[in-house]
Amino acid sequence: MIAKDMAQMKSLAIKLFEINAFKFGDFKMKVGINSPVYFDLRVIVSFPEVMQTVSDLLVSYIKEQQLTAKHVCGVPYTALPLATLVSVQQNTPMLVRRKEAKNYGTKKIIEGIFNAGDTCLIVEDVVTSGSSILDTVNDLTREGIVVTDAVVVVDREQGGAANIAKHSVRMHSLFTLSFLLNTLLEAGKIERDTVDAVAKYIAACQINSDGTFANDKPQVVNDFVRTRMPYESRANLAKCELAKQLFLLMSTKKTNLCLAADLTKCEEILDVAEKCGPYICVLKTHIDIVEDFSQDLIRQLQNLAKKHNFLIMEDRKFADIANTVSHQYRDGIYRISEWADLVTAHSLSGRSILVGLKAGVTTADSKNRGVFLLGEMSAPGNLIDDKYKETTSKIATEGSFVDFVAGVVCQSKECFSFPGLIQLTPGVKIDETSDKLGQQYNTPEHVIKDKGGDIGVVGRGILQAKCIETAAALYRDRLWAAYIDRVAK
């Protein structure tokens, strides 16, 4: 690769990571063993400048490797737009392989004009075993087309190149997984631990083209299962600055307790913040229930947050269209975006909620603000279903707001898997299972160990205790011990 392209390759690698075209976590794979790294190059169609760079690099790589062929053909579907760009830039006619033959009209499986004996270069986005490339090669070969080479954006280095070589097709990759990992490491985007964990998985999980493992079924433990990872390692994977900060705060202060200061008088809120401050990582407010609100409350709360080292979360549960939400966040008597490090929001209006919140924060503050999306609720009979949860997790982990979403408010570890997000779980009480209005409670141990909560939210469990400091210390101790136990296993 020529030097100029190398610099471009490195900055593309970082860009792909930033737009979540690949990410680290715990991902279900076709082969049956969860992978710590996942590529989703489908997202690049939403970033035309990235499409342009990828296709420019592919074209110059094809030229450099002298991969001359009469046609190009993309492996459906993700590589189709890439193959189109390559075809247009090089003025090489394209062939389109259908995944299924039409059952009417021409019933063709290969679209485009060709003759038997023509050569064709395959374009693919990501290669694991190479089986998708081989499917396309088979269909082309059946039509008499000659395929000798495939150019791919990313080789996961799990045996794909060797598998397709057995069918006399050479694989040429723009990026290898190792190159991507080293580039991110060099740029300070990931830690050595991440590189090692992925390398361990890749070494153990070499795959044959039929999808079976090259070795006997490998027993790799994915180091990126979020509930087994310590907070400080998860800080390295977080894309949102506030999530990073909160993970590190929890880890150094040794607390994963969030106090829900659901009180109606400024004096009461400041009193619990002063008394419980040393034991908590987050103080959560419902500012609209405060009867004597003034900005002085905010100033004093911020001083206490500094003194005791905790973050402030306004549990506003925004849920409107973007324009309204931006006003609710920035304006009115509360001016939430000026002081709340974190806010909660329903994902009901989709990504619009994040568009609205982003618009409600000044650019100077934007790096210091984060959102927790509601993925599940502790209220009985709530209307959230599996589809809603899945989409919420997607909004939190995909697209251009990944740097803004710090976590998810939910009740189960299945709600999301990305270790860089924080699970906030309310409904924690030691001695009760519900309140008179249906709130459902669980013990600190159940919330942290079984439900996957990273932070337990306690309101009345502390606020109604005879001595709130003692109660806060007790909840802190039990939530923290449960976390230590969880990561030790």
Name the residues that contact ligand S5P, by CB under 6 A.
260, 262, 286, 315, 344, 377-378, 409, 426-427, 439, 457-461
Q: How near is the Cβ of 261 to ligand S5P at its closest, in Å?
A: 8
Q: What's the CA gap between 30 and 151, in Å, rounded?
A: 22
Give catalytic status of residue 317 as yes or no: yes
Q: What's the CA gap between 277 and 308, in Å, rounded?
A: 5
Q: How near is the Cβ of 427 to ligand S5P at its closest, in Å?
A: 5
Q: Which is nearer to ligand S5P, 62 or 409 (CB)?
A: 409
CB 194, CB 207: distance < 8 Å = no
Q: How near is the Cβ of 411 to ligand S5P at its closest, in Å?
A: 7
| 230 DSSP β-pair partners | none
Q: How near is the Cβ of 376 to ligand S5P at its closest, in Å?
A: 7
Tell me which residue has its CB nearest to ligand S5P. Answer: 459
Q: How near is the Cβ of 318 to ligand S5P at its closest, in Å?
A: 12
Nearest of 358, 356, 360, 350 to residue 396 by alpha carbon: 350
Q: Which is nearer to ligand S5P, 143 or 271 (CB)?
A: 271
Q: How near is the Cβ of 344 to ligand S5P at its closest, in Å?
A: 6
Catalytic residue among 15, 254, 317, 394: 317
Nearest of 83, 416, 432, 86 to residue 238 by alpha carbon: 416
Q: Which is nearer to ligand S5P, 44 or 409 (CB)?
A: 409
Q: What's the CA gap between 88 and 94, in Å, rounded?
A: 9
Q: Which is nearer to ligand S5P, 150 or 259 (CB)?
A: 259
Q: CB burial class (10 A; 0-12, 13-18, 19+) of residue 181?
A: buried
The DSSP secondary-structure symbol of 443 reads -
Q: What's the CA gap between 103 and 96, in Å, rounded?
A: 17
Q: Which is nearer to ligand S5P, 72 or 305 (CB)?
A: 305
Q: How near is the Cβ of 254 to ligand S5P at its closest, in Å?
A: 21
Instruction: Specify the long-range contacts of residues 378-382, CB closer than 8 Å, at least 24 apart.
Output: 378/411, 378/426, 378/427, 378/439, 378/440, 379/438, 379/439, 379/440, 380/438, 380/440, 381/438
* Secondary structure, 3-state, 168-209: CCEEEEEEEHHHHHHHHHHCCCCCHHHHHHHHHHHHHCCECC
Question: Six-digit token pair at 320?
Answer: 């409107």
Nearest of 460, 466, 461, 343 to residue 409 by alpha carbon: 343
CB 465, CB 276: distance < 8 Å = no
Contacts of 341 (CB under 8 A, 6+ apart): 242, 311, 312, 313, 368, 369, 370
Q: Which is nearer to ligand S5P, 136 or 378 (CB)?
A: 378
Q: What's the CA gap between 224 and 25, in Å, rounded?
A: 5
Q: How near is the Cβ of 377 to ligand S5P at its closest, in Å?
A: 4
Residue 17 has phi, psi (to 5 degrees) of -65, -45
Through-space distance between the first and last CA atoms of the chain, rounded to whole angstroms: 45
Q: How near is the Cβ of 382 to ligand S5P at its closest, in Å?
A: 8
Nearest of 309, 365, 322, 373 to residue 346 by alpha carbon: 373
Q: How near is the Cβ of 270 to ligand S5P at its closest, in Å?
A: 18
Instruction: Specify the long-range contacts of residues 408-412, CB closer than 8 Å, at least 24 apart.
Output: 408/372, 408/373, 408/374, 408/375, 409/344, 409/372, 409/373, 409/374, 409/375, 409/376, 409/377, 410/374, 410/375, 410/376, 411/376, 411/377, 411/378, 411/451, 412/376, 412/451, 412/452
The catalytic residues are: 317
